[in-house]
Amino acid sequence: MSGRVPAESAKINELANGLRAGHRAALARAITLIESRRADHQAAARELVQALLPRTGKAIRVGITGSPGVGKSTTIDTLGMYLIERGHQVAVLAVDPSSARSGGSILGDKTRMAKLAASDHAYIRPSPSSGTLGGVAAKTREAMLLCEASGFDVVLVETVGIGQSETAVSDMTDFFLALMLPGAGDELQGIKKGLVELADMIAINKADGDNIKRANIAAADYRGALHILSPRSEHWQPPVVTYSALTGTGIAELWQKVQDHRNAMMASGEFASRRREQQVKWMWSMLENRMMARLRSDAAMRAKVRKIETEVAEGRIAAALAAETIAELLQ
Ligand code: GDP
């Protein structure tokens, strides 16, 4: 890229080579670079992602959501090990915007996925804690590309059951899996919240021991509810399955559904069109993030915007004129 000093480009090259060779330390360093807020780091990160782009896009990208306690980490641990035993390389990422406030994400924490954390074929990265959901999602998307370039062929992106972050994760994955607990009633809330419009499958966890019967009842309730909603794709009716992350029962069937979905989407052409739409949407959301970042980072601009904001609040300037004035500041 123009304006880069050769030494920096050489460093990026070296990092890219280490990453392509599958070195875990290079991958970790590259993701740290992406997560950095420093302008020079961000420029280097863009260069790095661009250089690695031809090696990205081949992984199966699965989003996983569910309320705390539903068994996300246990599921990822069990599913991840199941996939590794079948020759896959599994990356686990997380989108948890609340980590920006709390100072740390519990999602994607290695201690929650003990077996996977000990495997040479897995890479676990907690959520970046960089402010807005848009910022967190953008960094996770780029981390996903780096993982793919580094040889991971399954990427699991975990998120908590709150609306906006679920949409963000669904926008960066091919398959969106909603985990639920046995015992209907409360859980059917998910249907109302619109989660089901995003979910490609509902999986009821903890279907073991005394819970099996309740899990089957919940599954029947969800099937009934899904039946009356129009599915997200005309080529896929979201299934409802039961499984146990603790015993592993039903994990193979769960993964089979992910593959069935992929095959159906590939055959209909929807896989390619969804990926294309996602890329374009990413571009716009990154542009939005950058423009907002500029408005916030420049002190003089921040002061002007604040003044305009006050004038709008006090009814002295119309919102439309104010927006126009701010847009002009960005030119
Ligand atoms: P998360 O907060 O969604 O990540 O949930 P965890 O994976 O930490 O699980 C929450 C609790 O549920 C833990 O005590 C797990 O041991 C338990 N749990 C997870 N999966 C199962 C399961 O399949 N069966 C049973 N009986 N318990 C489970």
pLDDT of 126 > 90? The answer is no
Q: Which atom of ligand 1 is nearest to the CA of 67?
A: 3
CA distance 236 to 264: 7
**Tens-place pLDDT, residues 263-275:** 999 999 999 999 9
**Tens-place pLDDT, residues 269-311:** 999 999 999 999 989 988 887 888 788 878 888 899 999 999 9
Residues with Cβ within 8 Å of 212's Cβ and at least 6 positions away in sequence, in order, are 242
Q: Residue 181 C-alpha to ligand 1 middle, in angstroms?
A: 10
Residue scoring higher pLDDT (208 or 189): 208
pLDDT of 184 > 60? The answer is no
pLDDT of residue 100: 57
Q: Residue 279 C-alpha to ligand 1 middle, in angstroms?
A: 34
Residue scoring higher pLDDT (50 or 196): 50
**CA dihedral defined by 10, 13, 18, 22, rounded to 10 degrees?**
170
Is residue 18 within 8 A of residue 25, CB to CB? The reply is: yes
Q: Do the domains 56-268 and 1-55 match in fold? A: no
- Which residue has a Cα nearest atom 9 of ligand 1? 71
**Tens-place pLDDT, residues 58-73:** 999 999 998 888 999 9
Residue labelled with tokens 């590939």: 266
For the ranges 20-34, 128-142, 149-163, the one whose mean pLDDT is highest = 20-34
Residue scoring higher pLDDT (221 or 132): 221
- Which residue has a Cα nearest atom 11 of ligand 1? 69
pLDDT of residue 296: 80
Question: Cα 296 from chain centroid?
Answer: 25
What residue segments make up the domains of the chain, in order of their start? 1-55, 56-268, 280-329
Residue labelled with tokens 């005309």: 234
Q: What percent of the chain has pLDDT over 70?
A: 90
Q: 1-55 sits in which CATH class? A: mainly alpha
To test the pocket of ligand 1, the residue of 72, 74, 206 to mutate (highest count of ligand atoms within 8 Å of its CB) is 74
pLDDT of residue 2: 45
What letter represents residue 166's amino acid?
E
Q: Which atom of ligand 1 is nearest to the CA of 66?
A: 3
State pTM to two decimals.
Answer: 0.89
- Which residue has a Cα nearest atom 10 of ligand 1? 69
What letter represents residue 70's amino acid?
V
pLDDT of residue 26: 95
Q: Residue 58 C-alpha to ligand 1 middle, in angstroms?
A: 30
- Which residue has a Cα nearest atom 24 of ligand 1? 206
For the ranges 2-16, 123-137, 232-246, the one whose mean pLDDT is highest = 232-246
- Range scoring the smallest mean pLDDT among 78-82, 178-182, 228-232, 235-239: 228-232
CATH homologous superfamily for 56-268? P-loop containing nucleotide triphosphate hydrolases (3.40.50.300)
Residue scoring higher pLDDT (87 or 11): 87
Pocket of ligand 1 (CB under 6 A): 66, 68-74, 112, 205-206, 208, 244-246
Q: Residue 119 C-alpha to ligand 1 middle, in angstroms?
A: 20
